[in-house]
Chain A
Amino acid sequence: MRFLGGKLLHLVLVLLAVTALTFVLLDVLPVSVAHEIAGQGATPADVAAIREQLGLNDSVPVRYGRWLAGICRGDLGLSLYSKQPVSTAIASHLPVTLELLLLAQLFALTLALPIGIVSAWRADSKLHRLLGTLGFGLASVPSFALAVVLVYLFSLRLKWFPATGCTPLSEGVRVNLKGFVLPALSIALVEWVALMRVLRSDMIATLQEDFILLARARGLPDRRILLRHALRPSCFTMLTLFGVQTGNLIGGAVIVENLFALPGVGRLLLSSIFSQDFPMVQGCVLLIAVGYVTVNFVVDVCYGMLDPRVRREASGG
């Protein structure tokens, strides 16, 4: 219980810090919201009226306090432009981001786990070096460049997947998933390399341990030794990295979402920043921070599941 309480306090502090900082940063941006809303032919009086109406004349701390008060009532506010509730906008963009995130991380793990294990197992072989080189090459390519190549190959040439756009889930799981394969892949192909590399190096260290020697001495097959004895104690760094990556993706893979015209949180955030739609930006930032802290919490719980030694420390405070 103390563990959980500490985490909650941590969450609240992080949220306060992050949102306050965003507020200040947005205020510094050289965009005048009132001018934008008033339009081209507006008089200074119109602009002033709009400023007054939106409460932009108040100081930053006052506005931040007002926004916080709204949050406490469960009200994220309205978009300055469309007057759409921020919560509605986020609710419509979040599923796209989550689906992209899940699929990308699933692909990344699917690649990283077997390849990391095999290349640790054969650490002194040509295969190991080949995989190392290949991985390094892939990791050096930015995901958007990879995305362009993937689109060329799989949608323009082979016509397996659509190049852009997103079909809602209501029109069928297959069609919906198809639209996500290429964006998820262009994220995963970059991310799996780091996962694989940390898994491999931890696993190489684990395989040097006495208990692995003894497992082999007990005549267990390599497969069983690798999967049952070596994998779990070797997962820690990978799990940490996986958490960081997942946290990053909650904010949306901005570039990939834009490339594939996916209406995710990343696109919403980007356009809101450019128009200085601060309630919207704040809503997104809040979501990202909550997501980050949640992912970290889940990662902490996973540590305990992986290693009983951590469990004891956590319950001991």
Chain B
Amino acid sequence: MTVSDTHLLTVENLSVTIPSSAGAVRAVDRVSLALERGRTLALVGESGSGKSMFCRAVMGLLPRSAVVPGAARVTFDGRDLGGLPRRELAAIRGREIGVVLQDPLSSLNPVIPVGRQIAEPMRYHLGLSSARARERAVELLAAVGIPQPEERLGAYPHQLSGGMRQRVAIAMALACEPKLLIADEPTTALDVTVQAEILNLLGRLQRERNMAMVLVTHDLGVVAGRAHETAVMYAGRIVEKAPTVELFTRMRMHYTRALFDAIPRIDDPPHRELGAIGGQPPGPAAQRVGCPFAPRCWRAEERCRTEEPPLARDAGENHSYACWFPLSQEERP
């Protein structure tokens, strides 16, 4: 993969291992991807598939004990993040990469009024005066759709509803006008009615501000119509990656199909059983031989258990997958 000017973020061969008493846990396994300015990449996978750890690695906020093998390279806006001194890295994190996490209640400091929390990075990174930062905080709260933003500045997180909190968290992430927004399961902890609102808000803000976005979710249903490209993760690896429309129409992985079947549909007959995937994802510490999905895959053959399929694409296509026996035309949904 080459670094081109249009790419805001490129990740090459990123692995993250975390030592534990049961042996080294490989949370992220040889992940490579690239994201253009203003585009959205969705990362989809079950819990524990390494999505969040991947995001933390990009932000440079891994747990202290985590080890990133040397071959990894993360380039952001033309700069190799691995080679930057701590201080510069912190400045990039604060100004150019915004983050929204799953649980808005724990994402906000319970003892600081939300206005001050939004203003803080602007004062610190952009050197705004407190009056100017306050003004900007009001603008941001208005931009994320909070009514009477001036009155909300002094509110504490516990005084707001879940949806409001997530809007505040988004305002916080946008404070310094980042080029990249990492949204790690931004709607998982919210009421269903609020989920769509928040996703639409993120989409609108992204278009208006020409931000790139990494949208992490376990729900393949969230991705449709919102992400330009979708990468499916399993056991720390990217196992399938394609433009979203292509992925939905021509999915090749049995795992992707299983995720797809787990989405409830409005035209389903009542009480249809959702397609749950039997078994558990492999413990990340397990010594890995063969395809990690093989134990749960209905198509697995001997080869799948002994030989790991590489992430590769068919000639002339922008669709990569890691499977020895990809879904055929008839098997697609």
Chain B neighbourhood of A215, CB < 8 A: 109
Distance to closest chain A CB from B113 (angstroms): 8
Inter-chain CA distance A218–B94, complex, in Å, is 4
Are B91's CB and A219's CB within 8 A? yes
Query: Number of residues in B with C-beta < 8 Å to the partner?
Result: 32
Does A232 sit at the interface, judged by CB under 8 A?
Answer: yes
Q: Once the chains bind, are B106 and A217 in contact (CB under 8 Å)? A: no
A-B contact count (CB 8 A): 72
Known A209-B106, A217-B59; judge A308-B65 contact (CB<8 A).
no
A209–B101 CA distance with the chains assembled, in angstroms = 11
B124 interface residue (CB < 8 Å to A): yes
In the complex, the answer to whether B61 meets A309 with C-beta atoms within 8 Å is no
Q: Which residues of A contact B59 (CB under 8 A)?
A: 217
In the bound complex, do residue B110 and residue A308 qualify as a contact, i.e. CB atoms below 8 Å apart? yes
Q: A217-B93, A218-B94 are in contact. Are A124 and B65 (CB under 8 A)?
A: yes
Q: Is the CB of A229 within 8 A of B65?
A: no
For the complex, is B156 an interface residue (Cβ under 8 Å from A)? yes
Q: Interface digits, B95-135 against A, CB 8 Å rule (1 contact, 0 not)?
A: 10101011100111111100000001100110000000000
Most chain B beta carbons < 10 A, residue from A219, A228, A306, A309: A219
Say yes or no: is A220 at the interface (Cβ < 8 Å to chain B).
yes
Q: Are B103 and A210 in contact (CB under 8 A)?
A: yes
Return chain A residues, CB-CB under 8 Å to B108.
211
Cross-chain contact B172 with A307 (CB below 8 angstroms): no
A13 at the interface (CB under 8 A from B): no
Known A-B contacts A124-B65, A210-B106; A220 and B94 likewise in contact (beta carbons under 8 Å) = yes
Residue of A whose beta carbon sits closest to that of B156: A308
Q: Does B64 contact A (CB under 8 A)?
A: yes
B158 within 8 Å of A by Cβ? yes
Q: A residues 195-226 with Cβ under 8 Å of B? A: 209-211, 213-221, 224
Given A124-B64, A218-B120, A219-B121, A211-B93 contact (CB < 8 Å): no
Q: B92 near A: Cβ within 8 Å?
A: yes
- Let me know if A168 is at the binding interface, CB within 8 A: no
Considering the complex, give the chain A residue whose CB is closest to the CB of B125: A219
In the bound assembly, the distance between CA atoms of A220 and B86 in angstroms comes to 11
Cα-based distance from A229 to B120 in the complex (angstroms):
11
Q: Report if A211-B90 is in contact (Cβ < 8 Å); known contacts: A217-B99, A218-B120, A308-B158.
A: no
Residues of A within 8 A of B106 (CB): 209-211
Docked-complex contact A214 and B111, CB < 8 angstroms: no
A220 CB to closest chain B CB, in angstroms? 6
A308-B156, A308-B158, A309-B158 given; A217·B111 CB < 8 A: no
Closest to A212 in B: B109
Chain B residues whose C-beta falls within 8 Å of the C-beta of A217 in the assembled complex: 59, 61, 93-94, 97, 99
Question: Which 6 A-B pairs give the minimum distances between C-beta atoms?
Answer: A219-B94, A219-B90, A210-B106, A219-B93, A217-B99, A308-B156
Residues of A participating in the B interface, judged by any CB pair closer than 8 Å = 124, 209-211, 213-221, 224, 228-229, 232-233, 306-309, 312
User: Please, could you name 7 A-B residue pairs with CB atoms under 8 Å apart, sorted by A?
Assistant: A210-B102, A210-B103, A217-B61, A217-B94, A219-B90, A219-B94, A308-B111
